[in-house]
């Protein structure tokens, strides 16, 4: 979804011509709008599918399901099941609540003046389309209002249902609306566009497609009153800001260890332990289902086929049906895998599952993919995921090259080396100052909500920030704040080089360089939304250049004054770029389902390339170069830690407990360094690295 942010910052659009019209389209649309405006209630399950592709990057596709409810009083509820990024938005006309089930956090807001207008999608801001905004409501509210002469009506069908299809241009995008010929219910809406935008004197072309299929559509059904009111459950936390970085909330994430359990499959007597399966097979699917969910049957049938084709096992878990009902559903849908009856919900609570169907795909004992709901195209996506995990190059790496020296059980979200100490920032907003031997020298309260640390110079100072936050705070060696710097669009990454901080910012704020006093040296919008940026002396002339990426395939090189020097195609969806020295950049991104790490020159020509793991799961979270040696340490989202030399040889490897690894080199004696790592779940650990 990061590449999707580009569409919101388009600078130049080139409109295309209108479609020729046929009689009847305008009248049909007007009649449907009138019928919908007279409804007392509306409810549907909406299957969302969107894809964003540039001419120089692999497709970025997202699919999920949202349930929507609406009534004539302006009350509404949206339950979005986008895996663990799902959320609920509920309004009873007096209050509005936004709830994130995976984080158990919610906030209360004033309700919008108009529920229909709030739910209407703005196609130029695709980050919210399908999660809390829908084309259906754009059409009903009149925000999407094509001229009569531009509407074409043709006959067709959708999944065997006879439909009238309306097609029209509204601005540049092309829209299609499928209307049931007999019931006049809107069953599907589509948007297709090929916008172009100008960036640094170069025109880029992209294609974006979006569809929402409305299933289980109900007109004027009786909706329970409590569907429009949010009631926090035990353990839910009220918060002013919902999207804080993951702290200590009870939820499973990609990269977490798969919870193990044993059970006696329904209809059998032998006990089965899934730990035996995780060791025997390269992948495992754990499928939570419910007989009241039609999508559970569709997903279960698909998984039975995939298991047969791939020889990868599926374990079903049913937490809500009795033995007889579960057996009937299994028989009717042809499930061909063992099923655990989770009558006490012990397994479901360990997996934090509360919507069905939900699928966990694991490899090597860790979660690689999570899907909630079943939608068009998911079967092929699951099969593709399984094939990648089962490929020979996915064989589990063995630990090597690390010798543990000390460990501190601290829930740390960020660490940095500063003034001879290791500073660890905890999720409970404290700075821990730890000496080279592992002794805690001091603990000090930190400002609330900061999560990442970056060391700055030889005086022991350091900066702290939060991803997607809007503030950089600088602290002296004692942990006292010296200054802060505010950004307008939010911060993706902060780095440090030669007494300057480099900022990669959201929206159209691009990149900026600030000095050790918090003063801006320059800012540049050559890269409109920088997902990652690093600084270094790339051309060996004593100046500071910046390498940046925006989620496309392009690697951008920005000069010492903020000017764009070059834009180079890397042939991957680029997410990370770190200047290591003269004519040397470490980059990481995804291509063909793999997460790649590559050392390239300033023209993006590869020196070497390595597969880190599965696309997305093994995404690079941090990179730190050894202060004296040609070594580079890399941490990933799924808990892996690598140390490579600049020839591409793997010197050390291990997998930490937890996810989202942070790391830095700590000087323990003059000229001697150890590698410190941290995860929230696994704590802080310091290792010596031994080249074998």
What are φ and ψ of residue 684, in 5° steps?
-110, 130
377 vs 147: CA distance, rounded Å? 34
- State how far the Cα of 369 lies from the Cα of 366, in Å rounded to an integer: 9
Among the ranges given (251-260, 424-433, 452-461, 548-557), the one the predictor scored with the smallest mean pLDDT: 251-260
pLDDT in tens, 135-146: 999 899 888 888
Q: In terms of pLDDT, which residue wins out, 206 or 159?
A: 159
85-89, 444-448, 477-481, 492-496, range with the lowest pLDDT: 85-89
Residue 473 reports pLDDT greater than 90? yes
Section 62-84 average pLDDT: 80
Distance CA 568, CA 551 (A): 13
Pick 320 or 433 by higher pLDDT. 433
Average pLDDT over residues 100-128: 74
> For residue 85, is pLDDT > 70?
no
- Asked if residue 580 has pLDDT above 60, the reply is yes
Residue 594 in this model has a pLDDT that exceeds 70: yes
Angle at alpha carbon of residue 98, lines to 97 and 102, rounded to 5°: 135
Backbone φ/ψ region at 151: left (φ over 0), alpha (ψ -120 to 50), beta: beta
Lowest mean pLDDT among 67-81, 279-293, 364-378, 513-527: 364-378
Stretch 304-316: mean pLDDT, rounded? Answer: 92
Pairing of strands 606-614, 594-600: antiparallel
Q: What is the rounded distance in angstroms from the CA atom of residue 326 to the CA atom of residue 405?
A: 52
Residue 245 has pLDDT above 90, yes or no: no
pLDDT digits (tens, 9 = 90+) for 489-500: 678 889 999 899
Sheet holding 683-689, edge to edge: 402-408, 683-689, 672-679, 662-669
Mean pLDDT, the chain, rounded, equals 83
pTM of the model: 0.56
- If we measure between CA atoms, which residue out of 358, 284, 279, 278 comes closest to residue 317? 358
Q: Which residues contact 160 (CB under 8 A, 6 or more apart)?
A: none
2-6, 126-130, 221-225: least confident range = 2-6
Helix (H, G, I), strand (E, B) or coil at 149: helix
- Which stretch of DSSP H or E encloses residue 363? strand 358-363
Q: pLDDT digits over 150-193, tens only? A: 899 998 888 889 999 999 988 778 899 999 999 999 999 999 88
Longest dimension (CA), the chain: 83
């Amino acid at each position: 979804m990061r590449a999707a942010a580009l569409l919101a910052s388009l600078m130049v659009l080139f409109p295309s011509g209108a479609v020729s019209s046929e009689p009847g389209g305008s009248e049909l649309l007007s009649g449907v709008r009138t019928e919908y405006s007279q409804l007392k209630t509306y409810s549907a399950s909406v299957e969302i599918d969107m894809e964003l592709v540039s001419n120089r990057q692999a497709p970025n596709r997202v699919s999920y399901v949202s349930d929507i409810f609406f009534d004539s009083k302006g009350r509404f509820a949206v339950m979005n099941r986008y895996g663990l990024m799902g959320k609920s938005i509920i309004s009873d006309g007096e209050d509005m609540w936004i709830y994130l089930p995976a984080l158990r956090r919610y906030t209360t807001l004033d309700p919008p003046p108009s529920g229909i207008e709030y739910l209407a999608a703005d196609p130029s801001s695709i980050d919210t389309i399908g999660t809390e905004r829908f084309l259906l409501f754009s059409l009903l509210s009149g925000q999407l209002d094509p001229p009569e002469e531009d509407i074409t009506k043709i006959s067709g069908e959708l999944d065997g249902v006879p439909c009238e299809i309306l097609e029209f241009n509204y601005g540049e995008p092309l829209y299609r609306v499928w209307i049931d010929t007999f019931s006049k219910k809107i069953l599907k809406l589509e948007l297709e566009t090929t916008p172009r935008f100008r960036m640094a004197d170069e025109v880029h072309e992209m294609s974006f497609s979006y569809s929402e299929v409305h299933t289980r559509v109900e007109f004027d059904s009786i909706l329970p009153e409590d569907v429009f009111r949010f009631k926090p459950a035990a353990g839910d936390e009220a918060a002013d800001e919902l999207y804080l970085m993951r702290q200590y909330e009870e939820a499973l994430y990609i990269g977490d260890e798969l919870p193990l359990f044993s059970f006696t499959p329904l209809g059998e007597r032998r006990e089965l332990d899934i730990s035996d399966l995780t060791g025997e097979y390269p992948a495992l699917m754990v499928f939570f289902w419910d007989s009241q969910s039609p999508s559970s049957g569709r997903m279960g049938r698909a998984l039975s086929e995939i298991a047969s084709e791939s020889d990868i096992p599926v374990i079903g878990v049913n937490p809500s049906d009795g033995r007889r009902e579960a057996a009937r559903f299994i028989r009717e849908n042809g499930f061909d895998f063992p099923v655990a009856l989770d009558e006490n919900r012990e397994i479901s609570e360990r997996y934090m599952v509360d919507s069905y169907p939900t699928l966990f795909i694991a490899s090597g004992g860790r979660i690689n993919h999570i899907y909630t709901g079943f939608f068009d195209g998911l079967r092929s996506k699951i099969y593709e995921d399984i094939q990648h995990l089962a490929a020979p190059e996915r064989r589990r790496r063995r630990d090597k090259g690390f010798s543990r020296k000390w460990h501190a059980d601290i829930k740390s979200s960020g660490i940095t080396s500063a003034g001879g100490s290791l500073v660890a920032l905890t999720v409970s907003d404290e700075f821990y100052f730890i000496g080279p031997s592992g002794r805690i020298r001091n603990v000090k309260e930190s400002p609330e909500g900061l999560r990442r640390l970056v060391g700055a110079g030889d005086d022991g100072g350091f900066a702290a920030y939060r991803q997607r936050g809007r503030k950089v705070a600088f602290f002296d060696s004692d942990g006292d704040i010296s200054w802060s710097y505010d950004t307008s669009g939010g911060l993706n990454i902060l780095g440090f080089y030669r007494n300057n901080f480099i900022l990669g910012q959201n929206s159209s704020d691009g990149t900026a360089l600030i000095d050790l006093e918090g003063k801006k040296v320059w800012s540049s919008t050559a890269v409109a939304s920088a997902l990652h940026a690093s600084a270094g002396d790339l051309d060996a002339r004593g100046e500071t250049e910046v390498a940046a990426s925006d989620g496309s395939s392009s690697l951008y090189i920005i000069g010492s004054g903020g000017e764009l020097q070059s834009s180079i195609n890397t042939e991957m969806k680029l997410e990370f770029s770190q200047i290591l020295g003269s004519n040397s950049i470490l980059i990481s991104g995804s291509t063909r389902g793999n997460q790649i790490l590559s050392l390239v020159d300033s023209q993006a020509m590869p020196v070497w390339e390595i597969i880190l793991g599965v696309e997305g799961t093994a995404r690079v979270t941090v990179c730190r170069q050894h202060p004296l040696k040609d070594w580079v340490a890399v941490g990933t989202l799924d808990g892996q830690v690598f140390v490579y030399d600049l020839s591409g040889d793997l010197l050390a490897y291990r997998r930490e407990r937890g996810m989202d690894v942070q790391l830095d080199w700590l000087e323990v004696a003059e000229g001697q360094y150890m590698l410190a790592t941290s995860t929230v779940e696994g704590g802080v650990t310091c290792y010596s690295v031994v080249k074998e």
